[in-house]
């Protein structure tokens, strides 16, 4: 596994070693020792999967403290454009986002720590999306930010007329109006 820094502190891309031959492939999706050796102190407790059709945009989601969630996300089938937005008060990159294409071909993973809102758009006919979380889902602390917030100006790589958005995600507030209780701390 190769750990790759992004322009936003603490937001990481993980490039797995993939062993392919005529039978298919093998890759190690998670290794606690590699995380520990790279000073990533996250202990996962819940795995989730979703299946979505082309044009679906999910997000931007997060959970408030004290049950905020770090997520290790990847794509099992298909291709998505995955986005994380820094919502840590006091962060030099507050309100900035980073996006990356994740697919069953590139085998990349995206490590999104607590204090980030997360979303993705489906670029393939369908996609099966996987994410490990370090805290259990807590509905009363579930929050979101409008996927189309003009101050964020995220290009979801989906034509507006083809975007499929849930009723819940269409009701999220702008970042400037969102309930946030994260603080930036960096050593």
- Residue 104, pLDDT score: 95
CB atoms within 10 A of CB 152: 18
In a domain, 67, yes or no: yes
Distance (Å, rounded) from C-alpha 64 to C-alpha 148? Answer: 21
- Residue 186, pLDDT score: 67
130-185, pLDDT tens digit by residue? Answer: 999 999 999 999 999 999 999 999 999 999 999 999 999 999 999 999 999 999 88
In a domain, 18, yes or no: yes
Q: Given 61, 107, 118, 172, which residue is catalytic? A: 61
Would you place residue 27 in the very low, low, confident or very high pLDDT band (cuts 50, 70, 90)?
confident
In a domain, 97, yes or no: yes
Q: Is the pLDDT of residue 187 over 60?
A: no
Q: Given 62, 131, 147, 172, which residue is catalytic? A: 131
In a domain, 184, yes or no: no
* Token pair of 103 as six digits: 């697919």
Q: In the block, which residue shows the tokens 């596994």?
A: 1
Residue 20 is part of a domain; what is its CATH number? 2.60.120.10
In a domain, 185, yes or no: no
In a domain, 186, yes or no: no
131 part of the active site: yes
How many structural domains comprise the chain? 1
Concatenated DSSP letters for 108-169?
Answer: EEEEE-TTEEEEEEE-SSEEEEEEEESS---GGGEEE--TT-TTT----SS-GGG-B--TTG
In a domain, 77, yes or no: yes
Domain that holds residue 85: 2-177
Question: What predicted TM-score, i.e. pTM, was given to this entire model?
Answer: 0.93
Q: What is the dihedral of CA 9, 6, 150, 64, to 10 degrees?
A: -40
- Residue 79, pLDDT score: 98
In a domain, 83, yes or no: yes
């Amino acid at each position: 596994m190769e750990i790759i820094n992004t322009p936003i502190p603490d937001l990481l891309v993980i490039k797995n070693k993939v062993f392919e031959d005529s039978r298919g492939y093998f890759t190690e999706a998670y290794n606690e020792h590699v995380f520990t050796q790279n000073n990533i102190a996250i202990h996962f407790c819940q795995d989730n999967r979703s299946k979505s059709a082309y044009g679906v945009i999910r997000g931007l989601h997060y959970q408030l403290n004290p049950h905020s969630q770090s997520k290790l996300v990847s794509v099992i089938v298909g291709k998505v454009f995955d986005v994380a937005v820094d919502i840590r008060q006091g962060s030099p990159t507050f309100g900035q986002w980073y996006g990356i294409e994740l697919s069953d071909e590139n085998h990349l993973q995206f490590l999104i720590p607590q204090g980030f809102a997360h979303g993705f758009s489906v670029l393939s006919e369908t996609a099966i999306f996987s994410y490990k979380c370090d805290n259990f889902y807590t509905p009363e602390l579930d929050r979101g930010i409008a996927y189309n917030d003009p101050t964020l100006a995220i290009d979801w790589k989906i034509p507006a007329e083809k975007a499929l958005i849930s009723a819940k995600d269409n009701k999220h507030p702008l970042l400037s109006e969102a309930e946030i209780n994260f603080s930036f701390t960096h050593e």
